[in-house]
């Protein structure tokens, strides 16, 4: 067997005290009340809340690879809710409140750390946009505050606030409740909790076709491990949603782009918070293992590549070295790219589709990780009841027909 992180993860989980063994090699049943395609954080959260709050325990989660091996394992773990528009802020704030109690909810330490997320301003336009966000968030009941360069330096002593650098820091917006969590722990925590409630998590099981009855409604799914009957099918396949939805003849308003990140060699604690710069397309935090986690923007061209263009990472590192001169001599251990689905208004799609019984949760672009618990919670409600959760109602497919878009491009220009 080829050695991989997946194998290590499976071994670690199999030795966890109280971990149900059956999910590791679960064989699919002939029929389920609901099937979720995609065992990332969003799919596993959906299954958990279907079982816990919606009374649907006869649920299967299908994963073509291994649990959490897609974008869940290829992100930079940023959590925040300081989005511009009220619809977005409400949804991400819902997720943030769930994050705050998630370790207790799942009885599994997801290592949520509200260390603060600080977003830098480098010019007059940045200041205007940043202050607009602060005021909009406060009106929506979301915490956010404006800092001077000196206050930003006090909050993050590593930050270079010299006036003569290429991108001088002229202010910053700070959400103190924002922070990070451990991405793999989130997937494992939801997997264990869902499995304990009767959900089947079936790995190495790729969906190959979506079955429909004579009326056109969903009747099941064909997989590499046989056919499975189900009248409710939820697609949560980040980066490849369009491919799965095409099996049912549904064309999605999505484009897929590589989103890059990299980590340094581990060092002692030195970075007290998350610092982001939309203008530069760079941000940095520090993991609990000591690695500096550095994120970049998306590539300019659509692709399913999990590497991306080298010039993107180079540009990001140049900016990071200017903003944080202390890290200039550090070595980078690895870099990667996650494939993100992007909608025309840079906001997600959550809801039903023209095919009865087929539901989709996609298009989170670069903001998927932070939404994980909230996304799963509202999607489970939508699947179980057949009507959108109130927080998900603005994010249906119909908005692209009506023109009621939620344009968050400016709110998440750096991606996260």
Which pLDDT value is given to residue 281?
86
For residue 412, pLDDT over 70 is answered with: no
Residues whose CB falls within 8 Å of the CB of residue 157, separated by 6 or more in sequence, listed in order: 272
Tokens, residue 123: 């010019």
For residue 13, pLDDT over 80 is answered with: no
For residue 206, pLDDT over 80 is answered with: yes
For residue 245, pLDDT over 80 is answered with: yes
Banded model confidence at residue 20, pLDDT cuts 50, 70, 90: low
130: left (phi over 0), alpha (psi -120 to 50) or beta: alpha
Banded model confidence at residue 268, pLDDT cuts 50, 70, 90: very high
Mean pLDDT of the chain: 90
Strand partners, 274: 117
Burial class for 178, CB neighbours closer than 10 Å (0-12, 13-18, 19+): buried
Displacement of CA 286 from its chain's centroid (Å): 18
> What would be the CATH architecture of the domain defined by 5-75+183-253+345-402?
3-Layer(bba) Sandwich (3.50)
Which pLDDT value is given to residue 223?
97
Which residue has 């790219």 as its token pair? 337
Describe the chain by its helix, strand, coil percentages, rounded to 5.
30, 25, 45
2: left (phi over 0), alpha (psi -120 to 50) or beta: beta
Which pLDDT value is given to residue 8?
35
Distances (CA, A) of 366 to 187, 262, 296, 379, 415: 18, 15, 11, 19, 5
Tokens, residue 89: 């802020």
Per-residue pLDDT averaged across 300-320, rounded?
84
Q: What is the pTM of this model?
A: 0.93
Helix residue ranges per DSSP H, 214-371: 241-246, 310-323
Please tell me the distance from the alpha carbon of residue 6 to that of residue 26, in angstroms, as a whole number.
17
Which pLDDT value is given to residue 336?
86
Burial class for 146, CB neighbours closer than 10 Å (0-12, 13-18, 19+): middle
73-123: per-residue pLDDT in tens? 888 999 999 999 999 999 999 999 999 999 999 999 999 999 999 999 999
139-148: per-residue pLDDT in tens? 999 999 999 9
Range of lowest pLDDT (47-51, 244-248, 295-299, 321-325): 295-299
Which pLDDT value is given to residue 270?
96
Per-residue pLDDT averaged across 322-345, rounded?
92
Question: Which fold does the domain 117-176+255-342 belong to in CATH?
Answer: D-Amino Acid Oxidase; Chain A, domain 2 (3.30.9)
The residues spanned by each domain of the chain are 5-75+183-253+345-402, 117-176+255-342
């Amino acid at each position: 067997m080829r050695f991989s992180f997946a194998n290590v993860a499976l071994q670690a989980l199999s030795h966890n005290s109280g971990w149900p063994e059956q999910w590791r090699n679960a064989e699919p049943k002939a029929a389920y009340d609901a099937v979720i395609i995609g065992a990332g954080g969003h799919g596993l959260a959906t299954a958990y809340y279907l079982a816990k709050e919606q009374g649907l325990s006869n649920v299967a989660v299908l994963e073509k690879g291994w649990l959490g091996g897609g974008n869940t394992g290829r992100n930079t773990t940023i959590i925040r809710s300081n989005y511009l528009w009220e619809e977005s802020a409400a949804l991400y704030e819902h997720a943030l409140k769930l994050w705050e109690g998630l370790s207790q909810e799942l009885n599994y330490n997801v290592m949520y750390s509200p260390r603060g997320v600080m977003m830098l301003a480098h010019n007059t336009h940045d200041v205007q946009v940043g202050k607009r966000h602060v005021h909009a968030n406060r009106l929506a009941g979301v915490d956010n505050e404006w800092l001077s360069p000196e206050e930003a330096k006090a909050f993050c002593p590593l930050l270079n606030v010299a006036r003569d650098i290429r991108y001088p820091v002229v202010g910053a917006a700070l959400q103190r409740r924002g922070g990070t969590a451990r991405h793999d722990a989130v997937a494992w925590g939801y997997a264990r909790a869902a499995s304990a409630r009767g959900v089947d998590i079936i790995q190495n099981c790729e969906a190959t076709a979506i079955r429909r009855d004579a009326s056109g409604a969903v009747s099941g799914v064909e997989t590499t491990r046989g056919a499975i009957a189900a009248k409710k099918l939820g697609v949560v396949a980040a980066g490849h949603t369009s491919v799965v939805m095409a099996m049912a003849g549904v064309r999605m308003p999505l484009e897929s782009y590589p989103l890059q990140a990299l980590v340094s060699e581990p060092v002692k604690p030195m970075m007290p918070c998350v610092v982001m710069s939309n203008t530069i397309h760079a941000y940095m935090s520090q993991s609990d293992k000591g690695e500096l986690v550095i994120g970049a923007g998306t590539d300019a061209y659509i692709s399913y590549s999990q590497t991306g263009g080298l010039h993107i990472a180079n540009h990001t590192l140049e900016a990071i070295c200017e903003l944080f001169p202390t890290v200039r001599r550090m070595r980078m251990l690895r870099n990667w790219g996650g494939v993100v689905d992007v909608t025309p208004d840079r906001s997600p799609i959550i809801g039903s589709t023209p095919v009865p019984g087929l539901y989709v949760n996609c298009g989170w672009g670069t903001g998927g990780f932070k939404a994980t618990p909230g996304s799963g919670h509202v999607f489970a409600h939508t699947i179980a009841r057949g009507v959108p959760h109130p927080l998900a109602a603005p994010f249906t497919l119909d908005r692209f027909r009506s023109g009621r878009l939620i344009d968050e491009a400016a709110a998440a220009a750096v991606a996260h």
